[in-house]
A = this chain, B = another copy of it.
């Protein structure tokens, strides 16, 4: 579960630190194991022995002001909501039931009790629908900006966590919901704060669509119900949540499963608001779906033969599940198929709170 997100705010120099090399070497460094650890570094959460019949899922994230959030474009309650939802989404990606959150804050000079409360209220709002409890934390001073450490704990049926490493050649690749909305919502949030040069073009979006996209960015909902259902039905062979963006996260899944993938761009699920945004700004909605991060949808694989069962169930439950491609052998690499043919999936790294070009 070590993720190196080296995205840095605009204007910062490229860092000497190579993120994937770092992850790999830290993973080797921490390679110790015992029988209680079913999964450690390299997945959405660690998996250890839990309560009777269950495994325990643990994940931690550190969100930095100016990197993962911007106080000028989001209220503290929204920042809290997203921080919590991002961690609940990691539990959802393992098919787990999120149970507890622990919060560690580092507060800059001038931080007020009102702001901390607003942040907590946002976190509690993200937790409430999933009956997750905030059971601890730590509050200390920061010489930089606001820093938010979130640890989430959950449980899953023993030995049944959805790993990144289980995808097989021939499996169908599915995603929940629609993609790229959060990136559009981010641009709208930046526009509100006067940080976007394309305001005039975005202004043509109807208020309802603006609201939808802002909500998708500021108040994402972790796909816990879908993850739980995939565990109960034993349909999925692997899963990951879309935090870095489809093009980054499919790469993580393929690397862990030692497979390749073909993504069909025509099938990528887009929201009407996302399409309208792309039209208004002259962006390519497919590129937004591929590169946009923080959608917190699930990407999962199922054996090809089971796609009928999955799609019937999805219709019955009212879930939007879309087949976007197929798992290929590792030597195939990761490619996208469009009307223009097959091309390698571009390596893009989602940069938190930067607007698309």
A interface residues, Cβ below 8 angstroms from B: 1-9, 12-13, 15-19, 21-23, 25-26, 29-30, 32-34, 36-37, 40-41, 45-46, 48-52, 56, 58-68, 99-100, 102-107, 109-113, 116-117, 120-121, 124, 131, 133-145, 147, 149, 151, 153
Which of B67, B124, B149 contacts A142, CB < 8 Å? B67
Asked whether A138 lies within 8 Å of B106 as measured between CB atoms, the reply is no
Residue of B with least CB distance to A47: B135
Asked whether A121 lies within 8 Å of B29 as measured between CB atoms, the reply is yes
Which of B58, B100, B147 contacts A100, CB < 8 Å? B58
User: Using Cβ atoms and an 8 Å threshold, which residues of chain B touch A41?
Assistant: 134-137
Asked whether A147 lies within 8 Å of B64 as measured between CB atoms, the reply is yes
User: Using Cβ atoms and an 8 Å threshold, which residues of chain B touch A6?
Assistant: 139-141
User: Using Cβ atoms and an 8 Å threshold, which residues of chain B touch A141?
Assistant: 5-9, 12, 15, 64, 67
Nearest-neighbour CB distance to chain B for A10, whole angstroms, equals 11
In the bound complex, CA of A22 to CA of B138 (Å):
11
Nearest-neighbour CB distance to chain B for A94, whole angstroms, equals 12
Interface centre among A99, A107, A141 (most CB of B within 10 A): A141
User: Using Cβ atoms and an 8 Å threshold, which residues of chain B touch A143?
Assistant: 9, 12, 64-67, 144-145
Residue of B with least CB distance to A15: B109
